[in-house]
Amino acid sequence: MPMHYVYVLKNKSKDFYIGYTNNLIRRFKEHQKEDNYELIYYEAYLLEKLARQREGKLKFYGSAWRALRTRISA
């Protein structure tokens, strides 16, 4: 069963990118071509629906993103 990932990248300008993929390694390599991103966090899900819901919460609900940033900054 394939895994589905929600991930957070950060570039040298300290800009964040939140995304979803079913192939984390491939997607990270694609981002490397665009800019020098660092993978700083990811979550793995068995169901695509759950991964996409989590991505949406991180992108569109400030409280979810603030809580995660606090957690990964510690």
Tell me the C-alpha distance between 19 and 74, whole Å.
Answer: 22
Predicted pLDDT at 1: 83
**Percent of the chain that is helix, strand, coil (3-state, to 5):** 50, 30, 25
- Kindly report, residue by residue over 14-58, the tens digit of the pLDDT: 899 999 999 999 999 998 888 889 999 999 999 999 999 999 999
Write down the architecture of domain 4-73 according to CATH: 3-Layer(aba) Sandwich (3.40)
For 12, the 3-state DSSP assignment is: coil
Predicted pLDDT at 35: 83
Residue extents of the structural domains in the chain: 4-73
- Phi first, then psi, for residue 50 (nearest 5°) are -65, -40
